[in-house]
């Protein structure tokens, strides 16, 4: 197979959802179809559901599992599918954002009873920033859920996306009869079963065909015809190109646990989801078909064995062919590196890999060479863009409780921030270290890991900050002046970029008014992906 053929047959994607919507169940069904696992229950979910009372030991146990389930590769009808796992717990949302930088499309799972939930909104914001193609799967149709039209409205209003149903449910809950596939024009009849792999399809080329009454009865047939009429009137016809540019999201209905609607989702996915595409770097766009190998690190996983401090760096190949034992240029360190044991992941097992193609994700043992966002090339000096940090939600000051271990603490906190566990800001005038996270759970993780892996102990002092804003200005002198005047609220991130720590929404607004020449950004990457306030 040529490299171009290898690229064309690959689809790299992630399933995103609010916890409990059915991501793990759907993943498992996909893997069953792909023959990567033989029985349901084989995918251990690495989600940590408790949110009020965190259970850190549970995370430690789960971390072992999540390395193995970080990437799941399987084949379906000749398509090679790389499914990247995203953590379910909201405190690890930043990890999910970064994973989204390494995929070419996503499937969003929504629970039909709960509708669009908070966490989904934030995840979709990240997808929208990257014009990511999205397919929506509305799950749990075997339960009494919200009206399907209301669900579509909710998707459009809360997620700011245009939707187009490609299947439509007939009844719901106990009266759920199945779905009509608008795209392929067939009826998919529902029989509750978690084990069956085959679904029952009836071809109905014309919705007015009397076969419809025979299959679902007069009332449901009438209602379905009415609904389809309404859909055709209200929603634009599905345009694959618009899906690929992230402008329209096709919607499917089904029930993951009953393995219902999953096959048609998977088959549509392999038909329409994009293969690896070109990616932006600081100098140019890199196309997957280019001969020379390029790629970037989007995730770093620490070894759970504290006596063995190696880490696994997850690397997405963007162009060319990655080969084991070849030398590649680490563009940040300006250094040639060679990888003798890169691994790929197959459901729960890891295998040494000889080569990998664009769209593939490989794991590389790392002894501290990698930070998130690092780029490897065959000599070209550039780096991939689109892997930003977002403003944290919670800020605390790191307090060293064992002065004898200051060095260890500094090393540990630096490495943990490079791994992406939390963000580290150093306050300009006091040199205090501020840790910023998305959730409380990370503070526990940091405290535990600093002690276990670095022998350093610490506590945290809460600080009331609202947001960390990265700063730019057309006028460098004004920026310097702002940094000087606001020095009490200026800190530097791990790349030495200045950020303004705003104590409240009100203060931020006021500061913006007072300094119109300064732009305040909620992400660290200040380019077309930026969120400007
Ligand atoms: P998550 O990864 O998004 O957090 O969700 P997960 O797949 O674990 O599903 C959450 C719960 O919803 C599970 O129940 C799962 O069985 C159930 N579920 C998934 N799909 C459907 C569906 O189509 N219909 C119905 N009725 N339920 C569904 P649980 O009780 O939390 O776990 P388990 O004991 O069933 O494993």
The tens digit of pLDDT for each residue in 287-299 reads 999 999 999 999 8
Q: Which atom of ligand 1 is nearest to the CA of 109?
A: 3
Burial of 225: CB neighbours in 10 Å, binned 0-12, 13-18, 19+:
middle
* pTM of the model as a whole: 0.84
**101 domain residue, yes or no:** yes
pLDDT at 44 (0 to 100): 54
| 125 and 222 assigned to the same domain | yes
Q: Ligand 1, residues 20, 50, 92: which to mutate, most atoms within 8 A of Cβ?
A: 20
CA pair distance 17, 1, nearest whole angstrom? 35
Q: Ligand 1, residues 117, 119, 142, 257: which to mutate, most atoms within 8 A of Cβ?
A: 257
**385 domain residue, yes or no:** no
User: Which tokens sit at 520?
Assistant: 């305040």
Q: Which of 272, 298, 322 is the last residue of a domain?
A: 272
Give me the count of residues in the chain. Answer: 533
**431 domain residue, yes or no:** yes
Interval between CA 154 and ligand 1 midpoint (Å): 22
Interval between CA 52 and ligand 1 midpoint (Å): 20
pLDDT at 61 (0 to 100): 58
**CATH code, domain with 241:** 3.40.50.300
**305 domain residue, yes or no:** yes
Our count of domains for the chain comes to 3
Q: Which of 241, 272, 303 is the last residue of a domain?
A: 272
Interval between CA 444 and ligand 1 midpoint (Å): 28
Q: Ligand 1, residues 14, 16, 21, 22: which to mutate, most atoms within 8 A of Cβ?
A: 22
pLDDT tens for 378-387 read 999 999 987 7
CA pair distance 468, 394, nearest whole angstrom? 10
Would you say 60 and 99 are in contact if contact means Cβ atoms under 8 Å apart? no
Cβ neighbours for 198, distance < 8 A, ≥ 6 positions apart: none
Interval between CA 21 and ligand 1 midpoint (Å): 7
| 40 and 136 assigned to the same domain | yes
pLDDT at 120 (0 to 100): 85
Coil vs helix vs strand at 407? helix
CA pair distance 115, 138, nearest whole angstrom? 9
pLDDT at 527 (0 to 100): 44
**CATH code, domain with 418:** 3.30.70.3280
Interval between CA 255 and ligand 1 midpoint (Å): 10
pLDDT at 306 (0 to 100): 57
What is the chain's pLDDT, residue by residue, as a tens digit (533 residues)?
888 999 999 999 999 988 889 988 898 899 888 877 666 565 655 444 433 344 555 655 555 555 556 788 889 999 999 999 887 666 777 778 888 889 999 999 999 999 998 878 888 888 888 889 999 999 999 999 999 999 999 999 999 999 999 999 998 888 888 999 988 888 888 876 555 555 667 777 788 888 888 888 899 999 999 999 999 999 988 999 999 999 999 999 999 998 889 988 999 999 999 999 999 898 999 999 999 999 999 988 876 555 666 788 999 999 999 999 999 999 999 999 999 989 886 555 667 889 999 999 999 988 888 988 899 999 999 999 877 677 888 999 999 999 999 999 999 998 888 888 889 999 988 999 999 988 888 898 889 889 988 899 999 999 999 999 999 999 999 999 999 999 999 999 988 899 999 999 999 999 999 999 999 988 876 543 444 44
| 326 and 416 assigned to the same domain | no
| 143 and 228 assigned to the same domain | yes
Q: Which atom of ligand 1 is nearest to the CA of 49?
A: 4
**531 domain residue, yes or no:** no
| 88 and 179 assigned to the same domain | yes
**484 domain residue, yes or no:** yes
| 84 and 225 assigned to the same domain | yes
pLDDT at 115 (0 to 100): 94
3-state secondary structure 424-451: EEEECCCCCEEEEECCCHHHHHHHHHHH
| 53 and 148 assigned to the same domain | yes
| 225 and 117 assigned to the same domain | yes
Please report which helix (H) or strand (E) contains residue 459, including its range.
strand 458-463
Would you say 32 and 18 are in contact if contact means Cβ atoms under 8 Å apart? no
Q: Which of 249, 272, 295 is the last residue of a domain?
A: 272
| 158 and 199 assigned to the same domain | yes
CA pair distance 435, 267, nearest whole angstrom? 44
pLDDT at 429 (0 to 100): 85
| 208 and 317 assigned to the same domain | no
| 161 and 252 assigned to the same domain | yes
Interval between CA 346 and ligand 1 midpoint (Å): 23
Q: HSE on the CB side for 275, CA within 13 Å?
A: 17
pLDDT at 41 (0 to 100): 61
**383 domain residue, yes or no:** no
Nearest residue CA, atom 4 of ligand 1? Answer: 20
Domain holding 438, by residue range, is 394-521
**533 domain residue, yes or no:** no
Q: Within 6 Å (CB) of ligand 1, which residues are found? A: 17, 19-25, 45, 47, 88, 139-140, 142-143, 255-258
Cα 202 from chain centroid (whole Å): 36
| DSSP state at residue 259 | T
Handedness of CA 74, 76, 80, 86 (dihedral sign): negative
Interval between CA 58 and ligand 1 midpoint (Å): 20
Interval between CA 51 and ligand 1 midpoint (Å): 17
Quick one: how many helices (H) and strands (E) in the chain? 14, 31
pLDDT at 38 (0 to 100): 65
CA pair distance 512, 505, nearest whole angstrom? 11
Cα 264 from chain centroid (whole Å): 23
């Amino acid at each position: 197979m040529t490299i171009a053929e290898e690229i064309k047959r690959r689809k790299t994607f992630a399933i995103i959802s609010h916890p409990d919507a059915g991501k793990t169940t759907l993943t498992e069904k996909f893997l069953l179809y792909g023959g990567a696992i033989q029985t349901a229950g084989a995918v251990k979910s690495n989600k940590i559901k408790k949110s009020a009372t965190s259970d850190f030991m549970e995370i430690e146990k789960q971390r072992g599992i999540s390395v193995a389930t970080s990437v799941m590769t399987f084949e379906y009808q000749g398509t090679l599918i790389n499914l990247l796992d995203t953590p379910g717990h909201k405190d690890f949302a930043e990890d999910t954002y970064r994973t989204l930088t390494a995929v070419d499309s996503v499937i969003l799972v929504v629970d039909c009873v709960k509708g669009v939930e908070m966490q989904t909104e934030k995840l979709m914001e990240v997808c929208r920033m990257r014009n990511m193609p999205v397919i929506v799967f509305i799950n749990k149709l075997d339960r009494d859920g919200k009206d399907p039209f209301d669900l579509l409205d909710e998707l459009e209003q809360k997620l700011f996306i245009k939707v187009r149903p490609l299947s439509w449910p007939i009844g719901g809950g106990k009266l759920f009869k199945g779905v009509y596939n608008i795209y392929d024009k067939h009826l998919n009849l529902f029989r509750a079963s978690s084990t069956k792999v085959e679904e029952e399809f009836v071809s109905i080329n014309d919705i007015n065909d009397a076969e419809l009454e025979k299959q679902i009865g007069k009332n449901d047939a009438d209602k379905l015809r009415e609904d389809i009429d309404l859909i055709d009137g209200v929603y634009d016809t599905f345009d694959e190109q618009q899906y690929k540019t992230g402008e329209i999201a096709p919607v499917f209905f089904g029930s993951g646990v009953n393995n219902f609607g999953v096959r048609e989702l998977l088959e549509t996915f392999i038909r329409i989801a994009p293969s690896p595409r070109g990616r932006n770097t600081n100098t140019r766009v890199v196309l997957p078909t280019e001969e020379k190998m390029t790629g970037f690190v989007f995730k770093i996983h620490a070894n759970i064995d504290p006596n063995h401090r190696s880490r696994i760096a997850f690397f997405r190949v963007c162009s060319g062919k990655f080969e084991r034992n070849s030398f590649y240029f680490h563009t940040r360190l300006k250094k040639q590196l060679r990888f003798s044991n890169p691994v790929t992941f197959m459901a729960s097992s890891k295998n040494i890999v000889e080569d990998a193609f664009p769209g593939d994700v490989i794991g590389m043992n790392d002894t501290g060479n990698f930070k998130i966002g690092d780029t490897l090339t065959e000599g070209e000096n550039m780096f991939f863009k689109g892997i930003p940090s977002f403003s944290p939600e919670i800020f605390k000051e790191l307090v060293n409780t064992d002065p004898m271990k200051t060095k260890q603490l500094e090393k540990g906190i630096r490495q943990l921030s490079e791994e992406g566990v939390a963000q580290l800001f150093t306050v300009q005038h006091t040199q205090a270290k501020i840790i910023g996270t998305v959730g409380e759970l990370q503070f526990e993780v940091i405290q535990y890991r600093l002690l276990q892996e670095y022998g350093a102990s610490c506590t945290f002092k809460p600080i009331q900050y609202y947001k960390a804003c990265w700063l730019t200005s057309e006028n460098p002198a004004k920026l310097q002046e702002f940094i000087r005047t606001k020095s009490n609220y200026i800190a530097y991130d791990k790349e030495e970029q200045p950020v303004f720590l705003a104590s409240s929404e009100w203060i931020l607004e006021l500061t913006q008014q007072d300094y119109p020449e300064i732009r305040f950004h909620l992400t660290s990457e200040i380019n077309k992906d930026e969120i400007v306030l």
